[in-house]
Amino acid sequence: MQYIVLHELPGRLRLQLTLPRRPAVDPAQVEAYFQDLAGLLKVSFNPGTRCLLIRFDPRLASREAVLGRLESAPPPRSLRRRPPSTLERKKKTVIRSGTLLLMGPLFPLPVRTVLAVLGALPIFRKGTAALANGRLNVDVLDASAVGAAMATRDFLTASVISFLLKLGDYLEEWTRKRSHTLLAGLFHVGEEWAWVVRDGRETRIGLDEVREGDTVVARMGSFIPVDGVVLDGEALVNQACLTGESLPVARRRGKSVYAGTVVEEGSLQIRAVKVGTDTRAAQVVRIIEAAEDLKAETQSRGEALADQVVPYSFLLSGATLALTGNPARAAGVLLVDYSCAIKLATPLAILASLARSARRRVLIKGGKFLEKLAQVDAFIFDKTGTLTEATPQVAEVVAFKGFDRDFVLREAACVEEHFPHPVATAVVRYAAAQGLIHAEEHAEVEYVLAHGIVSRHHGRRIVVGSRHFVHEDEGVDVTAAAGYRDAFARRGYSLLYVAIGRELAGLIAIHDPLRPDAKSFIAALRNSGIGRIVMLTGDNEATARTIAAQVGIGEYYAQAFPEKKVEIVRQLQKEGFTVAMVGDGINDSPALAEADVGISMTHGADIAQEACDVLLMGGTLADILAARTIAREAMGLIRTNFNHILVINSAAMAMAVTGVAPPVVSAAVHNLATIGVGLQALKPLRRRK
């Protein structure tokens, strides 16, 4: 597409495009060429002057990258129109209604009457539909108020009220759209375009047209539009939006990339594996948006109370008419309701807070979990993967009763490699580092949840797992390990017992380093007001005691298996605590589901991520404190908004009843209050942290 640079400053370009005046070009389609440009701050196109204004962050996007978009753009005739959005339709309705209201004095009375009736028809239809469905809600109130004004032949008031209601409807839609736009902007999953190789040529198509298996091209400065695997090229990719990594990572052939991440340097050809709503970023946004349906109890109570007030509004309106004989005052009462503002502000505050937490790499899966997180006063931590690094290492291998050390390690690695667990991986990795190669000579491997692994080797039963499993379940004598067990426990090591042919063959000592921030995190959590902190581990008593002392936790439970973890959660709940369970393993899933709030790390088992209510995508303990702060501030914001709604609308209703102000003023105060609390509800999205 051809252009002329009219004016430029660092980070700002004003261009004139060479476009025909007919057919008219949809501005949104021109602006869409830049929506996947990293560092874009603002883009606007005026079809009348054919001027394009682009503002961008020079640190993230270069002048050449911006102009390159236009140079590669298709001819104007290929720009496709799209149907107007709901927001655009409502905007046109407001403009039309406002224009007719201003021009009203120029028309004769019969014409003004007809215009007032026509303008009120959408309001009457909504009110009638609500009554037909057996609902006595704000739509009925609005229709009744406009009808009351018309019944007194005050068509000017009816027209003003109709305009204000339409304006309020538009502003509510704008507020919702704004929240969703900001949310989508966190992961850049809105309406976009992609460059795809088809028939040997690069073609620019809508993102909704990209299919699995397509070859997608992403160049420097662009957002990657799909989840996929690199086919060709090399680039540095900023994945901060999904992983929280502060530095870009190198991506080359065979490496995975994700939608919403940014190519900072280089270019890639990517085979699309997941597209559209199936990408990881889109799933995160969808979870947050769907979380609106999981209402907090505060929201449900507020909405129920607001709906219960509606019949009393009619009663108050009728009483006002009976006592004053003034239809205008009665109509003014009908124009004030509480439910509209509550039903707008409360879900917006929750959605904005969920988006804010997502920006901090914490995915909270619903408003009710946000509320529960704010109420939590007891935390339970599974040790492995939460308080520790989840990167266990083999510290030492001990053999017994004539068994060779290398033989014990090799056979343990041979069966452990079939189990995708960090401890099993540590054993396999250590055996490989020792140069021990094992042949697949064992029978089928059986995994016993939270206990260990069982198989057969040359006719002999081989068991690898905890002391409880090997000794109590399998009946193997472990007396020879007693001295080692205590010594290793004092050093904070966990033990794997290896038994072959019902004899104890050896021990494998596992060291899982504590997270560097574990101790300071526990102290900060306690200082934030958490009264009960518990650590659970499958380790023996001595190891559990050592680890708990190192991080500053006084209450702990050793050899805690899945059923024991659930039992502890239930016990704390019986004592009146609101319990958060933090874990990342398969054996944590029952307790995660049982707790009031289940919290899991993003590196944890898939089933744990499914069972949890809060997912720490950044994988840091500090994110738990941040999420709890966000949750508490969200509940405070909801309470503040509710109080404002109550006070302002009650004042407007009092003005209507006493006749201090006409119905138009009551309607204006009510609508302005609704929009005000709606904008206030978006406050969490405006915060940087």
Residue 246 pLDDT > 50: no
> What is the pLDDT confidence band of residue 176, given thresholds at 50, 70 and 90?
low
Is residue 607 a part of any domain in this protein? yes
Out of 239-243, 350-354, 468-472, 598-602, which region has the weakest mean confidence (pLDDT)? 239-243
pLDDT of res. 604: 53
- For residues 34 and 84, the answer to whether their CB atoms sit within 8 Å is no
**Which whole number is the average pLDDT over 130-140?**
79
* Pair 146, 207 in one domain: no
Q: Best-predicted range by mean pLDDT among 66-80, 121-135, 497-511?
A: 497-511
**Which whole number is the average pLDDT over 551-567?**
86
Take residue 660 and report the two structure tokens written for it. Answer: 């201090």
* Pair 534, 399 in one domain: no
Dist. CA 151–CA 272, nearest whole Å: 63
Percent of residues, the chain, with pLDDT higher than 70:
80
Dist. CA 484–CA 508, nearest whole Å: 10
Residue 190 pLDDT > 50: no
More confident residue, 260 or 650: 650
Q: How many CA atoms lie within 13 A of 276 on its CB side?
A: 9
Phi, psi of 441 (to 5 degrees): -115, 5
Phi, psi of 687 (to 5 degrees): -85, 140
* Pair 499, 546 in one domain: no
* Pair 159, 61 in one domain: no
* Pair 381, 298 in one domain: no
Q: Quickly list DSSP for 377-413.
A: -EEEEEIIIIIB-S--EEEEEEE-TT--HHHHHHHHH
Dist. CA 329–CA 321, nearest whole Å: 7
| Catalytic-residue membership of 382 | yes
> What is the pLDDT confidence band of residue 519, given thresholds at 50, 70 and 90?
very high
Out of 142-146, 178-182, 506-510, which region has the weakest mean confidence (pLDDT)? 178-182
pLDDT of res. 64: 76
Dist. CA 632–CA 625, nearest whole Å: 11
Is residue 107 a part of any domain in this protein? yes
> What is the pLDDT confidence band of residue 534, given thresholds at 50, 70 and 90?
very high
Last residue of a domain, one of 26, 53, 78: 78
* Pair 385, 407 in one domain: no
pLDDT of res. 504: 92
Q: Best-predicted range by mean pLDDT among 41-50, 292-301, 618-627?
A: 618-627
Dist. CA 410–CA 622, nearest whole Å: 39
pLDDT of res. 244: 44
Out of 96-100, 542-546, 683-687, which region has the weakest mean confidence (pLDDT)? 683-687
Strand ranges of the sheet holding 378-382, from the earlier edge strand across to the other edge = 362-364, 614-616, 597-601, 579-582, 378-382, 532-536, 555-557
- Under DSSP, the state recorded for 471 is I
Is residue 422 a part of any domain in this protein? yes
pLDDT of res. 135: 76
DSSP strand pairing (51-56 vs 12-17):
antiparallel
Q: Where are the alpha helices (DSSP H) in 338-490?
A: 339-359, 367-375, 405-416, 422-433, 467, 482-490
pLDDT of res. 571: 94
Is residue 362 a part of any domain in this protein? no
201: Cβ contacts below 8 Å, ≥ 6 apart = none
What total of structural domains would you count in the chain? Answer: 6
* Pair 383, 530 in one domain: yes
Dist. CA 446–CA 664, nearest whole Å: 75
Out of 162-166, 376-380, 543-547, which region has the weakest mean confidence (pLDDT)? 162-166
In the block, tokens 């949750």 appear at 631
Is residue 56 a part of any domain in this protein? yes
> What is the pLDDT confidence band of residue 497, given thresholds at 50, 70 and 90?
very high
Residue 380 pLDDT > 70: yes
**Which whole number is the average pLDDT over 493-500?**
89
**Among positive and negative, which fits the CA dihedral 273, 274, 279, 280?**
negative
DSSP strand pairing (51-56 vs 40-46):
antiparallel
Is residue 349 a part of any domain in this protein? yes
* Pair 135, 91 in one domain: yes
- For residues 46 and 24, the answer to whether their CB atoms sit within 8 Å is no
Is residue 359 a part of any domain in this protein? no
- For residues 467 and 485, the answer to whether their CB atoms sit within 8 Å is yes
Out of 7-11, 257-261, 333-337, which region has the weakest mean confidence (pLDDT)? 333-337
Residue 191 pLDDT > 50: no
Q: What does the chain come to in residues? A: 689
pLDDT digits (tens, 9 = 90+) for 41-75: 788 887 777 788 888 877 767 777 777 777 766 55
Residue-averaged pLDDT of the chain: 79
Dist. CA 500–CA 410, nearest whole Å: 13
Last residue of a domain, one of 254, 278, 302: 278
- Under DSSP, the state recorded for 470 is I
Instruction: Output the domain CATH number for residue 227.
Output: 2.70.150.10
* Pair 94, 180 in one domain: yes
More confident residue, 221 or 396: 396
pLDDT of res. 340: 67
Take residue 365 and report the two structure tokens written for it. Answer: 């899966």
> What is the pLDDT confidence band of residue 304, given thresholds at 50, 70 and 90?
low
Take residue 127 and report the two structure tokens written for it. Answer: 């009110």
- For residues 45 and 77, the answer to whether their CB atoms sit within 8 Å is no
Dist. CA 167–CA 549, nearest whole Å: 62
Is residue 106 a part of any domain in this protein? yes
* Pair 416, 495 in one domain: yes
Dist. CA 335–CA 669, nearest whole Å: 10
CA distances from residue 328 to 101, 264, 663 in whole angstroms, order as listed: 20, 63, 6
pLDDT of res. 78: 44
pLDDT of res. 574: 94
> What is the pLDDT confidence band of residue 552, given thresholds at 50, 70 and 90?
very high
Residue 92 pLDDT > 50: yes
pLDDT digits (tens, 9 = 90+) for 583-600: 876 667 788 888 899 888
Burial 349-388 (b: 16+ CB within 10 A, else e): bbbbbbbbbbbbbbbbbbbbbbbbbbbbebbbbbbbbbbb
- For residues 4 and 70, the answer to whether their CB atoms sit within 8 Å is no
pLDDT of res. 266: 83
CA distances from residue 344 to 216, 307, 369, 677 in whole angstroms, order as listed: 40, 13, 20, 8
pLDDT of res. 523: 94
pLDDT of res. 379: 96
Take residue 280 and report the two structure tokens written for it. Answer: 């990881």
Dist. CA 180–CA 155, nearest whole Å: 38
pLDDT digits (tens, 9 = 90+) for 412-461: 888 887 776 677 888 888 998 888 876 666 556 776 655 678 888 777 88
Residue 158, SS3?
helix
Domain ranges, residue 41: 3-78
- For residues 414 and 440, the answer to whether their CB atoms sit within 8 Å is yes
Take residue 483 and report the two structure tokens written for it. Answer: 């001295």
E strands, 199-285, in order: 201-206, 215-218, 227-238, 249-251, 256-257, 262-274
554: Cβ contacts below 8 Å, ≥ 6 apart = 533, 548
Q: Quickly list DSSP for 498-549.
A: EEETTEEEEEEEEE-PBPTTHHHHHHHHHHTT--EEEEE-SS-HHHHHHHHH
Dist. CA 185–CA 179, nearest whole Å: 10
Residue 510 pLDDT > 50: yes
Dist. CA 60–CA 516, nearest whole Å: 33
Task: Indicate the angle between helix axes 138-151 and 109-132, nearest 10 degrees.
Answer: 150
pLDDT of res. 592: 84
pLDDT of res. 509: 92
Residue 26 pLDDT > 70: no
**Among positive and negative, which fits the CA dihedral 457, 461, 466, 467?**
negative
pLDDT of res. 677: 84
* Pair 200, 346 in one domain: no
* Pair 522, 602 in one domain: yes
Last residue of a domain, one of 476, 491, 511: 511
By CB neighbour count within 10 A (0-12 exposed, 13-18 middle, 19+ buried), where does 412 fall? buried
Instruction: Output the domain CATH number for residue 520.
Output: 3.40.50.1000
- For residues 144 and 314, the answer to whether their CB atoms sit within 8 Å is yes
Dist. CA 267–CA 224, nearest whole Å: 10
Q: Quickly list DSSP for 74-117.
A: PPGGGPPP-PPPHHHHHHHHHHHHHHHHHHGGGS-HHHHHHHHH
Q: Choose among 466, 596, 641: nearest CA to 540.
A: 466
Angle 97-102-105 from CA coordinates, rounded to 5°: 120
More confident residue, 298 or 636: 636
Q: Give the dihedral of Cα atoms 475, 476, 482, 488; nearest 10 deg.
A: -100
CB atoms within 10 A of CB 223: 23
Among residues 227, 382, 596, 613, which one is catalytic?
A: 382
470: Cα separation from own chain's centroid: 43
pLDDT digits (tens, 9 = 90+) for 203-231: 777 777 888 899 998 887 777 888 899 99
